[in-house]
Structure 1
Amino acid sequence: MKTMLSDRSGPSSAQAYRQDSEGLRLLFVASEIYPLAKTGGLADVCAALPVAVARLGADVRLVMPGYPQALAHVVAPRIAADLGEVLPGAHVRIIAGRTEDSGLPIWLVECAALYDRVGSPYQDANGADWGDNALRFAVLCHAAARLACDEAGLGWRADVVHANDWHAGLLPLLLRARRAERPKTVFTVHNATFQGNFPLAGAARLGLPGDVLVPDGIEFFGQLSFLKAGVRYADKVTTVSPTYAREIRTSEFGCGLEGLFDARGDDLSGIMNGIDAQVWNPAADRYLPSRYSRHDMAGKRACKTAVQQALALRIDADAPLALFLSRLTSQKMADVLLAQLPGIMQRFPQLQFALHGQGEHALESGFARLAQDYPGRMAVRIGYEEAQAHRLHGGADLLLHGSRFEPCGLTQLYAMRYGTIPVVRRVGGLADSVLDADAEAAAGSADATGFTFDEPTAEAVDAALSRCLDVYGNHPETWTALQQRGMAADFGWGPSARRYASLYATLAPARSMPGRVAPDERAPAQTTVQTTAQTAVPATARRHFASPVSQRGASCSPSCRE
């Protein structure tokens, strides 16, 4: 794809957007950042968190691959630097610009041979992983390391580098190799099942030294692991909810890395993700046919009618409208829902059900066939559209969001923001964000915001859904109270950004972060997992880095490891 770019003449982004020289300089690196590229919640987080941290006084720069859609939509793109051949066959230029929504400065790693392709950031048009993904994201990491250390000559050097998920996992390792005066690193695990595991034989082409290809380094079950590299070599490691930070130290959720997570415990924190409260705001949502707030809910009723009309559901203001808005995968318990949905529809003849998502082909076709059995009551829309997601949250009464594991989850936060009651499994970030309304004392549950269940079974889902529908049909005052609490809760990025700022400040104490939270002010939404481990991992823990027993974690099938 051809993109019109200016040369290096004129003020650089570093000059144009330089903040107080005393402010902490943060380089934020990810494989996708909304709206330049998005395949899931990672892009939303990597768009909103840097903005929230910048508002606290940090000087923030973003780095991501130069996909065609990113080059096409970045504001004021220009060639900032030519890095030459970063790795064999990978000639890189740095394209500087600004993000469309926030205006933050961003550096796009342009390498046409690796990124200028038809498909998603990770897969081709047929849904197959790109065969050179290891090289594609190794190049991202090498380029980001040069930018962080001002080796590109742009006059800006990071104090802290925040790398996200396996795609940026090599970055902490590459920066540690620079030793003196290197930036400190934070590595966030958004989902431990996606590990970026590749053949060890390709390590040399990725620019990796041989001495790290060992169990105490980045070797993992006979492969090299980008995710393990990030966890092993970062100065601080975070996950996206307090509960998930505890869960990944167990064989059920650690995906074979629980020993390493446990060994890094002193440096491992769980900080709950937030949402963009301006984008997800029913009082100002441009996608809704009628806007509303917790002070005036009339618009939500109008949104429900609009959804029923758009999906060819029976127009019925009293019928409970349930929503499933997620990937159609076994992780999201879509297989359980598909099997039990006929029974649910039979037991609750007034219930309406709307599904919007995509995923495994067998599940997509299964739900599509099932919808034909319930005309006027069930609608299935395969795919994902941002505007549709907003409208569904606005019109639905309840969200059904089961997960076998859930690092954080954003859908339940969007739902509560829109007065849509979540029914979720009490796991990961779902456990941290949804408080159960006890069936026998719902009216007295002063903090309740939804309904939860513990086991990933049809029986558990059915019991929680039954409780929810009972309150909907028979206890309208309680239902309204649940809506009000969810809509009043602060799910924005402010609190979480302050906790990240505190974490950055521990790594670069000489830099000013006026908006950070003092250590004694930290709320429970940040949890540090305590063990006796330090960055230099004890020898007694090393043998657990790739334990065959751990590999059998129930939530992590081998296919999730790629």
Structure 2
Amino acid sequence: MLNKPLKVFWLSAEAAPLAKVGGLGDVAGSLPKALHKAGIDIRLALPYYGSIKTPAKLLLKGLRMSIAKKSIVFDVYLTTLPGTKIPVYLIKHPLFRDLEVYAKIDALKHFSLWAKASLTLITALGFIPDILHLHDWPAALATCFLPEFKEDYPAVFAGTKVLYTIHNLANQGYDKKNNLNPMIEGIRRADYINTVSPTYAREILTKKYGVRLEKILLKRRQNLVGILNGIDTDLFNPKNDSNIKYNYSVKNLVGKTKNKLALQAELGLAVDKQKPLLAFVARLSWQKGIELFSDSLFDNLIIKYDAQFIFLGDGDSKYKKYLSKFVRKYPRNIKVFFKLDLSLAQKLYAASDFFLMPSQFEPCGLTQMMAMRYGSLPIVHSVGGLKDTVNSSVGYSFKNYTAVDLSKTIGKALKDFSSNPVVIQKKRQNAMKKNFSWQSAARQYFKLYQKMVK
């Protein structure tokens, strides 16, 4: 089997730029490209959300299946991942018409239909997958239907192995009405399980990070691995990024300073390269450590260093109110933008001196890698993928999840900024030289695929 190209059928509820809510969309829009370059025949299936605007052609009309003894008819449209020849099959059904990605009600119903339709599609394509690569709880539902397909279509699925990738263990998709936890089904039924960083793979075996699934995961630990995500290093590249005003490289950082001054002026901050500029780009949720930012933290750092803070993200109204009170107190030093804005995010990576990521937990994290590409030094809580990507040579980290520890760590960084420019320059150069491309992850997935099909 290994003499032939590996065939992988990929199921994820997101894939940028077709449909994206968070980091899963970035992964699904990038990793398949690297796997394809490695010689893998990889194909993706997504629900045909009403929000998808990418042109697609009708491939198959009127495919039939049943769920809970109810007949279901759906169509399949074909497009490709932009810039590639990788097929993306869009499952069209009225259930997905009004969805952007995740349904607020009946999510289990929506994704069950997509999961079984995807397996039905495979039989219609004549595609015989070596690997069914499933991502997070929506795709885990495919494992509930797979035994039926293995029995009915042995020529297609008899040799198919399942890799289940956990991007965030906290999002389990539990359905109270049906008493079904898709995450548990994926963990129990998959041949192999992986998380998106080595440290997170170890953390979820503990009560602290296991989200009540640590006992189930401990039973599967021999088939659990961690593979660090990457980023699109072509998209996130200060040498040619069209979103930033001045391009630059690790060999010449003058452009970074110019970007800082330009953004300060644009956002109404004091224009001064000596004032430290710190950026935060994330969903506004309980995971991201927003509650660690306190009055005393801002009082100390603004009074002592005249530090400037910019927060970008959308999410929970509770955290919008929380951050807004600091803006009212320090309007000259703190700016907030409650939206998702890729262009502004990249301006922040390019302009900021430091990048704040005090997450309570972080399966991998992508934005710290993006920030480092632009020479913004990460200040992180040392957990999960943050621990795997940030050390003292490229940034700053703290172990205890407290407001005091975050404040002390930022204080150390700002002290270096004000009195040790050589240290900052060296860290900045080290950060920009780090290789976070998808090629490394693709090699590890390729090896895991091969191990699974032997």
TM range (shorter): over 0.9
Note closer, same or farther for the CA distance 1:89–1:300 as it changes in structure 2 (3 Å cut): farther
Deviation, structure 1 residue 310: 2.0
Specify the alignment match of 2:119 in structure 1: 145
Question: Is this contact kept in 2: 1:453–1:464, CA < 8 A?
Answer: yes
Structure 1 runs of 4+ aligned residues shifted over 4 Å read: 338-341
> 1:35-81: per-residue Cα shift (whole Å, max 9, x none)?
001111110011111111110000110111110232x214x422334
Partners of 1:280 and 1:417 within 8 A in 2? yes
Identical columns (%)? 32
1:84 CA drift (Å): 2.3
What does residue range 130-529 of structure 1 map to in structure 2 within 5 Å?
A: 131-147=105-121, 150-152=122-124, 154-177=125-148, 178=150, 180=154, 181-199=158-176, 202=178, 223-436=179-392, 448-509=393-454
Structure 2, gaps ≥5 residues long:
none
Q: What CA deviation, in whole Å up to 9, does each residue of 1:502-550 have, x standing for no partner?
A: 00011224xxxxxxxxxxxxxxxxxxxxxxxxxxxxxxxxxxxxxxxxx
Q: 1:329 to 1:172 in 2, by over 3 A?
A: same
In the alignment, is the contact (CA less than 8 A) between 1:86 and 1:143 conserved in 2?
no
Opposite residue 503 of structure 1, the aligned amino acid is L
Change (3 A) 1:338 1:111: farther
- Report the equivalent of 2:5: 23
TM-score by length of 1: 0.77
> How much has 1:86 moved relative to structure 2?
4.2
From 51, 67, 74, the counterpart of 1:69: 51
5+ residue gaps in structure 1?
Answer: 1-19, 124-128, 203-222, 437-447, 510-562
Report the alpha carbon displacement of residue 375 of structure 1 after superposing the two structures with TM. Answer: 2.7
Taking the aligned partners of 1:89 and 1:362, their CA distance within structure 2 comes to: 43
Q: Which residue of 1 aligns with 2:23?
A: 41
Deviation at 1:90, TM superposition (A): 4.3
What SS does structure 2 have at the residue aligned with 1:36? coil
- Larger helix fraction of residues: 2
Conserved? CA contact 2:161–2:453, under 8 Å: yes
Output the amino acid matched with 1:401. Answer: M
**In 2, are the aligned partners of 1:338 and 1:367 still within 8 Å (CA)?**
no
Work out the CA distance in 2 between the residues paired with 1:35 and 1:231.
28
SS at match of 2:288: coil
Secondary structure of 1:348's match? helix
Change (3 A) 1:144 1:416: same
Q: Secondary structure at 1:197's aligned position in 2?
A: coil
Q: TM-score, normalised by structure 2?
A: 0.94
Cα displacement string for residues 137-169 of structure 1 (whole angstroms, at most 9, x for unaligned residues): 11111012223xx322x2322111100000101
In structure 2, the residue matched to 1:78 is: 58
Aligned length: 445
Give the aligned CA root-mean-square deviation in angstroms: 1.7
Alpha-carbon distance change, 365 to 463 in structure 1, aligned in 2, over 3 angstroms: same
Matched letter for residue 143 of structure 2 = P
- Which structure has more relative contact order (CA 8 Å, sep 6+)? It is 1
Q: Distance in 1 between matches of 2:66 and 2:230?
A: 35
| Equivalent pair of 1:176/1:182 in contact (CA under 8 Å) | no
Contact 2:65 2:120 in 1 (8 A): no
| Greater mean deviation of Cα atoms: 343-352 or 300-309 | 343-352
Q: Secondary structure of 1:63's partner?
A: strand
Deviation of 1:21 after TM superposition, in Å, equals 9.1
In structure 2, C-alpha distance between the alignment counterparts of 1:374 and 1:432, rounded to whole Å:
34
Compute the displacement of 1:373 (Å): 2.4
- Distance in 2 (CA, whole Å) between partners of 1:491 and 1:176 is 37
Provide the secondary structure at the position in 2 that maps to 1:452. strand
CA contact (8 A) 1:176 1:233 kept: no
Tell me, what secondary structure is at the counterpart of 1:399?
strand
* Cα gap change, 1:86 to 1:94, in 2 (>3 Å): farther
Name 1:107's counterpart in structure 2. 89
